[in-house]
Chain A
Amino acid sequence: MSMEMNMNEEEAKLRQQLQRAVRSTEVPPYLENKIRAGIRGSEARQLLQFRYSWMAAAAALALAVFGGITYQLGHLRLTTSSQESYIASVSNHVSSIMRVGLRDHLHCSFFRKFPKDAPKLENIEKNLSEPYRGMIPIVRKHVPGDFRLMITHECGYQGRKFVHLALKRDSQLLSVVLAVKQDGESFKTEELIPALTEAGIPFYQSGVQRFQIAAFESDHHLIYIVSDLSQAENMQTMTAMAPELKDYLNKLTL
């Protein structure tokens, strides 16, 4: 009993000595302030991180939306297969006979990187065969004045041949596309209703996304203007050009 009491007293004494010794350690006077400063700094960092993370998320979202929209509108289509899928998806929105001109415009103009300066006329007119070379002055005469002729060529797309004159004004494109009729092809047989008839020529129009299509036909050709102009402006250009162009084409011996 006495030994047990001695042990308890010993433990209590040890504990008191230990407490006194440990509690003799002084806390540095600056530590409290350092802790408070550290907490304030971490709060500021957290706030900044929060802001940056929101800004980054907003930027990523904006980029994704912008990228998605531009991809859907045909930009950022860098590979041939993605360009082809875009041409197919866009041209599905117009009638089959209107697709003829639209596809060639998309294939030859829309995905092309044009030089900043227009080439000299004498350098590009020789790309057209003699009969079609006479179209150039007619087209230049009737397109809005600041459109510059960038390309004239005879091209082929999906097994069909075209005569194509591509013009550019800043970021706007305009194509005059001419295709020889195949197997009795005609806007009339497609049962399209003309948007208007002027000088005895029925004009047809259609549009999808940024592309406006105006068309008419001569004896042997389907003629299209596909552009980024407004529907009215596009049709106006076509109606201005059509009589002279039709006369010229009807005189050609194919």
Chain B
Amino acid sequence: MTEGAPAAHRFETEAMPHLNDIFRTATRVLGERGRAEDVVQEVYLQAWKSFDRFEPGTNCRAWLFKILFHCVNHHRRKWFRFPLLKENEEFLEANLTYSPPVPDHLTDEEILAALEKIPGDFRSVVLLVDVEEFAYKEAADILQVPIGTVMSRLSRGRRLLREQLVDVARSYGIARTVEEGQGA
């Protein structure tokens, strides 16, 4: 793709292929497909309007994710009571005791249900690093937080997710198998 190519064609080839990733992350962060659709449309509209500022050859996917989280934060203030980090820390104090093993035989729905129970700040980092496979530095840039914050939120987010998965498994009777397996 050359720099002289018309902007519409460049946008089509560089930005549109990432629609799936953007939509899935938006759905998981916002917890609702309808809101995710609205936000994704807004992301692409904003991206198009500021596409002249995007440098060809740089990471378009990361640029779109950065716009996504900007829009998400804007809408979360409107739609939800934005969860403050202090509340997340309190949540951790109350919930993080140890890092349990991940149960087998969980469905996608059960995993997504567990993911949804994690506070938004931790869920965002888990999604960016573990699902979308961004480097810590990229995730820090997307979320506009220090890299150390990304690392600590990722670590805590993963542990929270395990906790939630064990709870889900226990409710289906799977955890017993895990605990029995550990005890053997």
Interface residues of B in 110-165 (CB under 8 A from A): 111-112, 115, 126-127, 130-131, 158, 161-162, 165
Q: Please tell me which one of the listed residues A10, A19, A21 contacts residue B102 in the complex, with CB atoms under 8 A apart.
A: A10
Contact between chains at B106 and A32 (CB < 8 Å)? no
Is A200 located at the chain interface by the 8 A CB criterion? no
Query: Whole-angstrom distance between the alpha carbons of A45 and B165 in the complex?
Result: 48
Pairwise interchain contact A25-B24, C-beta atoms closer than 8 A? yes
> What is the chain A residue whose CB lies nearest that of B21?
A23
Q: How far is the CA of A31 from the CA of B37 in the complex (A)?
A: 7
Question: A27–B24 Cα gap in the complex (Å)?
Answer: 7
List the one stretch of B39-47, B55-63, B87-95 in contact with chain A.
Answer: B39-47
Chain A interfacial positions (CB closer than 8 Å to B): 7, 10-11, 13-15, 17-25, 27-28, 31-32, 34-35, 38-39, 42
Whether A21 and B161, one on each chain, are in contact in the complex, defined by CB atoms closer than 8 angstroms, is: no
Q: Is the CB of B111 within 8 A of A17?
A: yes
- Identify B41's interface contact among A13, A17, A23, A31, CB under 8 A: A31
Could you list 8 A-B pairs, sorted by A, with CB under 8 Å?
A7-B99, A15-B130, A18-B161, A22-B127, A23-B131, A31-B19, A38-B45, A39-B11
Q: Is the CB of B45 within 8 A of A42?
A: yes
Interface residues of B, count at CB 8 A? 34
Of A10, A17, A35, A38, the residue contacting B106 (CB under 8 A) is: A17
Say whether A28 contacts B44, CB under 8 Å: no
Quick check: is B85 within 8 A (CB to CB) of the other chain?
A: no
The CA of A38 and the CA of B103, in the complex, are separated in Å by 44
Beyond A10-B101, A31-B23, list 19 extra A-B contacts (CB 8 Å).
Answer: A10-B102, A13-B102, A14-B161, A17-B111, A18-B115, A19-B130, A21-B108, A21-B111, A21-B112, A25-B27, A27-B19, A27-B20, A27-B23, A31-B40, A31-B41, A35-B19, A35-B40, A38-B45, A39-B44
Return chain A residues, CB-CB under 8 Å to B111: 17-18, 21
CB within 8 Å for A18 and B130 given contacts A23-B24, A25-B23, A31-B23: yes
| B49 lies within 8 A of chain A by Cβ | yes
Distance in angstroms between the alpha carbons of A18 and B113 in the assembled complex: 11
Asked if B16 lies at the interface with its beta carbon under 8 angstroms from chain A, I say yes
Least Cβ–Cβ distance between B37 and chain A, in angstroms: 6
Q: Which residues of A contact B44 (CB under 8 A)?
A: 35, 38-39
**Residues A18 and B131 in contact, CB atoms below 8 Å apart:** yes
List, in ascending order, chain A residues with CB within 8 A of B101's CB.
Answer: 10
B131–A19 contact, CB under 8 A?
A: yes
Q: Which of A19, A22, A27, A31 is packed against the most chain B CB atoms within 10 Å?
A: A22
Pair A32/B108 contact, Cβ less than 8 Å: no
A17 to B106, CA, bound (A): 8
Least distance between B173 CB and chain A CB atoms (Å): 19
Report Cα–Cα, A13/B104, bound state, in Å. 9
Task: Mark out the residues of chain B between 15 and 29 whose CB falls within 8 Å of any chain A CB in the assembled complex.
Answer: 16, 19-20, 23-25, 27-28
Q: A14-B162, A19-B130, A25-B27 are in contact. Are A32 and B19 (CB under 8 A)?
A: yes
Instruction: Report yes or no: A34 in contact with B130, Cβ–Cβ below 8 A.
Output: no
List chain B residues, Cβ under 8 A from A7.
Answer: 99
Closest to B102 in A: A14
